[in-house]
Amino acid sequence: MQLMSEKGAAGGGLRERKKRATRAALAEAAVRLAAEHGADKVTVEAISAAAGVSVRTFFNYFDSREDAFVVIDADAGARMRRAVLDAPAALSPLEALREAMAAELAEAEQQHELWRLHAEVLHASPHLLARGVGAHMAAEADLAEALAERLRATGGGATASGLYPRLLAAVAGAAVRTSVDHWSAHQQEAAFLDVFHEVFTLLAAGLPAPSA
C-alpha cells in the first residue's frame, strides 16, 4: 500500500503539507539526479539523501524506485476529473476533455524547467517512458468515470456499458502523449499548443488520411 494524501488539492493540515513537500522533494531530486547521471545510475540511496530522508522513507512514498522518475504530480488526475465535470454542457465530450487537458498542461508549463528535465529523462531511457505511459492508466480510468458521469448528466442514455467513455479517455491520453513526444522532438519548430490543437482536430475529424 501507498501513503497518499486523501485530498488532492491544497490541504490545510501541517501533516498534509509536509508529506506533499517530502514527496515533491523526492521526485525532484530523482529527476535532477537522473538528468545529470542517467536514470539507471541513480540509486534510491542517492535520491533519499538528496531529499534529506531515509531510504526506508522513500519506499513509504513510492512503490518502486522508478516511480520517482515517473509520477511527477500525483494530483493531476483529480484536477482533470474536476475540470471535466465542471465543463460547460455545450462542449462535446472530446472538447471537454481537450480543455481539461490543455489547462493541466498549461499549469505544468509553470514549472517549465523541471517539466523539461522530466521529458528529457524519460526520453533518454525508453524503459522509463513505457513505464510512464502505463502510469497514466489509473488516471485514465478516473477520467473515464468522470466522462461517464458527465454523459449521464447531459442526458446521454446508458452508453453501452461504458465503452465510449473509456475509449475517449484512452484515446485522449494517447493524443497527449503523442503531442508531448512530437513537440519534444521538434521543440524549435512549433509551439506545443499548436501541436496539441492539431492533434485534437485530427481526432475530431476521424483521423482521415492527410490529403495533399
Task: Give me the residues that bind its own copies (CB under 8 A), please.
Answer: 63, 92-94, 126-127, 129-135, 137-138, 151, 154-157, 159-164, 166-168, 170-171, 173-175, 177-178, 181-182, 186, 189, 195, 198-199, 202-212
Choose from DNA, its own copies, none: what does 210 bind? Cβ within 5-8 Å by kind: its own copies
Q: Does 19 bind DNA (CB under 7 A)?
A: yes
Our CA angle for 180, 79, 30, nearest 5°, is 55
Q: Does 18 bind DNA (CB under 7 A)?
A: yes
Q: Which of 36, 37, 38, 63 is close enough to bind DNA by CB under 7 A?
A: 63
Work out how close the CB of 126 gets to its own copies at its nearest, in angstroms, rounded to a whole number.
Answer: 7
Diameter over CA atoms, the chain: 59
Q: How far is C-alpha 135 from the chain's CA centre?
A: 8
Residues in binding contact with DNA, number by CB under 7 A: 24
- What burial class does residue 42 get, using C-beta atoms within 10 Å of its C-beta: 0-12 exposed, 13-18 middle, 19+ buried? buried
Shortest distance in whole angstroms from residue 117 CB to DNA? 19
- The single residue listed with the C-alpha cell 513505457 is 130
CA 125, CA 39: separation in Å to the nearest integer?
Answer: 7
